[in-house]
Amino acid sequence: MQEQQALKAEIISSLDFLPTDSLRLLAEFTTFLQSKFGRANTQRQIVRLGGLWADTPEITAEDIAEARHEMWGKFGENEI
């Protein structure tokens, strides 16, 4: 237990010398370790898609129905 406390103190003191990008990377890695060992982080991370779907036209239920009809409309008609 004493060794663990000393290791924690060493890690915490080294944080002051890390640049911001490294601190972000370390935060992501500790979240990964917490999930790996069953201690899920209580805060949920938000994944931003950054406009991935911005130029995509809206897909309606009618569009889906039409695509299904095109794919499956004559399914089984040529069966013997």
Locus of tokens 């039409």: 66
Q: Residue 22 and residue 15: Cα distance in Å, rounded?
A: 9
Total-model pTM: 0.42
Q: What confidence category does residue 25 fall into, taking pLDDT thresholds of 50, 70 and 90?
A: very high
**What count of other Cβ atoms lies within 10 Å of the Cβ of residue 21?**
8
Question: Comparing 63 with 47, which gets the higher pLDDT?
Answer: 63
pLDDT attached to residue 5: 92
Q: Where are the domains of the chain?
A: 2-72
- Torsion sign (Cα): 33, 37, 43, 49: positive
**What count of other Cβ atoms lies within 10 Å of the Cβ of residue 14?**
10
